[in-house]
Structure 1
Amino acid sequence: MKRVLLVEDEILLSMVMEDSLGSLGYEVVTASSLTAGLEHARTLELDVALLDVNLAGTLSYPIAVMLLGRNIPFVFASGYDELVLPEPMRNVPVLAKPFRTHELDHALRLVMIPTP
C-alpha cells in the first residue's frame, strides 16, 4: 500500500480528501499545519504527498522543498485561480479545488511515474 502525506488545514476538506485517498488504496498520514507537515515530510517514509498551498495564511513551500530534497513526489492543491510557483516547483501539478477523486488519482499517479 502506498503512503501519502496529506497536508490540509481545513478539517472538513481534509476528511473528504482522506476518504478519497483511502478509496484509492492509499495509507493516509495527515497534517494540518506547516510545522506538522514539515515534521512528517522530514521523518516519515512516504511515496507521495498532496499539499494545500495555503495553510492558514502560510505557504506550504517549505514542505515542498523538504520533499524535493528527499525525492518524494507531490502535487499541490489550491483554490487560487492563478498560482505562480517558485522556480524549482514550476513542473509540479496543481489540482484546482474543488477536484474529483479521479482527478486526484490521475495527478498522484502522474507524479509517481519513474522518470528515466
Structure 2
Amino acid sequence: MGLPLRRHGSRPKQSQHLKQHVKDLDNDLYRSLSWLVREADGYVKDPNNAIFAEFKWGSFFRTRVIFDEQLTCKKNCMEMTLEDIRKADPDDYAEKLGWARYLASSPEAAGLPGFVGRSG
C-alpha cells in the first residue's frame, strides 16, 4: 500500500496525493516563518531557485526554532499559525523571529538559496 501521508515534511507523498497548486498547500508554520525572514531581508529570493526556497528555509528553521506555544499546545497543534503564536505570546514570537533572522545569516545557512550572510 503506499507511504502514510504526514504533514510538515516528515515523509514524501505519492504523486496522486500532491496538491495541484502551491496556494492549496496546508499551513506550515516554518514555511511561514521563512517567508517572514525573507521579508525582513534575512535572505534574498534566488531567481534560480525561487519556487522552493521557502520549503528549504522552512526545513532549516524546523529543527532550530521552537516556539513556547508549540511546547504547551493542548489541541490542534498541527493547525497552529504564526499569527496564533503572535497573539498568544508576542514576546516569544518576537524573540523567535529574531533568532530565525540571526540563524539565516549564520554559517549553518550558507548552502540555502538566497543566503546573504552577515554584513560588516
Place the TM-score, normalised by the shorter chain, in its bin.
under 0.3
Structure showing greater Rg: 2
Taking structure 1 as the reference length, what is the TM-score of the superposition? 0.27
Query: Relative contact order (C-alpha < 8 Å, sep 6+): which is higher?
Result: 2
Greater share of strand: 1
Taking structure 2 as the reference length, what is the TM-score of the superposition? 0.27
